[in-house]
Structure 1
Amino acid sequence: MKNEYLPYPLEWLDLLITVTLNPDRTDITSIDSEQLDYIIDRLPQENLRLQSLIKSQIFSSNKQKEIILLIKQYHSSLIVLLDQALQNKTTSSKTANLKNLYKVLLSNIDELLSFIETRFCDNLSPEERVPKTYLSVTRKELKKKVDKLKSNVNDDVKQNPAFKIILNRLYHFVNTTCLQYQVTFRDVFYKKTLLRGLEDLDWKKDQTEAYSPLDELLIYLNYNSKAYMNLLTDRLARCINSYDNTIEKMDRLLYYYKAFNQLHRKPNMILNPKYHGLETILGNWFVQEILYLEKKLRLSVVPLHSKMEKQKSNPATPKEKQKVLCMLSTDQIGLILRAADESRILVAKSMSQVFKTIVPHLSTSHKKDLSYDGMRSKSYVAEERDKQIAIETLERIIKKIREY
Structure 2
Amino acid sequence: MFGTNDNDYSSSYSLELQDKLLLAVVSIRTKTAKIIRQDLFSTLLASARKEIGEKVLDLEKQATGYPHSRPVIDLVLRKLQEFATGEEEELTPDVMKITYHLELVSRLERFNWENHQLGLFPPLDELLVYLNFNSKSYTTLLQQWLKKRVLRAESLNLKLHELNLIYTNFLQLHRKPDVQFNDEDPDVTTIMVQWFEHERQFIENEIKIFQLEHEHSVPGTGKIKWKLSSDQLAIFVRACFDCGIIEAKSMSAVYQFIIPHISTKHRDDLSPSAVRTSAYNPEQVDKDGLKSKLQSMMKWIDGY
- Distance in 2 (alpha carbons) for counterparts of 1:301 and 1:186: 52
Contact 2:28/2:35, CA 8 A, preserved across alignment:
no
Distance 1:129 1:120, change over 3 A: closer
Corresponding residue of 2:128: 218
Corresponding residue of 1:272: 182
Name the SS of the counterpart of 2:206 in structure 1: helix
Letter in 1 for 2:76: I
- Distance in 2 (alpha carbons) for counterparts of 1:219 and 1:117: 27
% identity of equivalent residues: 25
How far 1:304 moved relative to its partner?
2.2
How far 1:142 moved relative to its partner?
1.6
TM-score w.r.t. structure 2 length? Answer: 0.62
Corresponding residue of 2:201: 291
Distance 1:235 1:107, change over 3 A: closer
Contact 2:160/2:203, CA 8 A, preserved across alignment:
yes
Corresponding residue of 1:112: 19
Corresponding residue of 1:154: 64
Does structure 1 residue 227 correspond to structure 2 residue 142? no
Distance 1:170 1:109, change over 3 A: same
Distance 1:370 1:217, change over 3 A: farther
- Distance in 1 (alpha carbons) for counterparts of 2:25 and 2:124: 21
Letter in 2 for 1:223: F
Corresponding residue of 1:311: 226
Contact 1:140/1:174, CA 8 A, preserved across alignment:
yes
Letter in 1 for 2:16: I
Contact 1:203/1:213, CA 8 A, preserved across alignment:
no
Distance 1:372 1:184, change over 3 A: farther
Does structure 1 residue 240 correspond to structure 2 residue 150? yes
Contact 1:127/1:186, CA 8 A, preserved across alignment:
no
Contact 1:220/1:265, CA 8 A, preserved across alignment:
yes
Does structure 1 residue 254 correspond to structure 2 residue 164? yes
Contact 1:224/1:278, CA 8 A, preserved across alignment:
yes
Matches within 5 A, 1:8-87: none
Decide which of 109, 120, 123 is 1:199's aligned counterpart.
Answer: 109
TM-score w.r.t. structure 1 length? Answer: 0.48
How far 1:146 moved relative to its partner?
1.7
Does structure 1 residue 184 correspond to structure 2 residue 99? no
How far 1:177 moved relative to its partner?
2.3
- Distance in 1 (alpha carbons) for counterparts of 2:110 and 2:200: 35
Contact 1:150/1:158, CA 8 A, preserved across alignment:
no
How far 1:215 moved relative to its partner?
0.2
- Distance in 1 (alpha carbons) for counterparts of 2:55 and 2:28: 21
* Residues 184-217 of structure 1, C-alpha deviations (whole Å, 9 max, x = no match): 2121011011112111212222343421110000
Decide which of 43, 46, 51 is 1:141's aligned counterpart.
Answer: 51
Distance 1:298 1:112, change over 3 A: same
Name the SS of the counterpart of 1:161 in structure 2: helix
How far 1:136 moved relative to its partner?
1.3
Distance 1:127 1:116, change over 3 A: closer
Contact 2:130/2:173, CA 8 A, preserved across alignment:
yes
- Distance in 1 (alpha carbons) for counterparts of 2:30 and 2:189: 25
Residue ranges of structure 1 left out of the alignment (5+ in a row): 1-105, 321-368, 374-404
Distance 1:307 1:179, change over 3 A: farther
Distance 1:210 1:217, change over 3 A: same
Distance 1:228 1:129, change over 3 A: farther
Distance 1:257 1:147, change over 3 A: same
* Residues 244-282 of structure 1, C-alpha deviations (whole Å, 9 max, x = no match): 211111111111101100001110111111111111111
Contact 2:131/2:176, CA 8 A, preserved across alignment:
yes
* Residues 148-199 of structure 1, C-alpha deviations (whole Å, 9 max, x = no match): 2223333336981101001111111111225644352121011011112111
Larger Rg belongs to? 2
Residue ranges of structure 2 left out of the alignment (5+ in a row): 1-12, 219-223, 241-299
* Residues 272-310 of structure 1, C-alpha deviations (whole Å, 9 max, x = no match): 111111111111110011011111111111232246696
Point out which structure has higher relative CO (alpha carbons under 8 A, 6+ apart): 2
- Distance in 2 (alpha carbons) for counterparts of 1:184 and 1:265: 22
Corresponding residue of 1:281: 191
- Distance in 2 (alpha carbons) for counterparts of 1:313 and 1:195: 71
Contact 1:158/1:164, CA 8 A, preserved across alignment:
no
How far 1:107 moved relative to its partner?
4.3
Letter in 2 for 1:273: D
Letter in 2 for 1:111: Q
Corresponding residue of 1:300: 210
- Note the aligned Cα RMSD (angstroms): 3.4
- Distance in 2 (alpha carbons) for counterparts of 1:150 and 1:158: 14
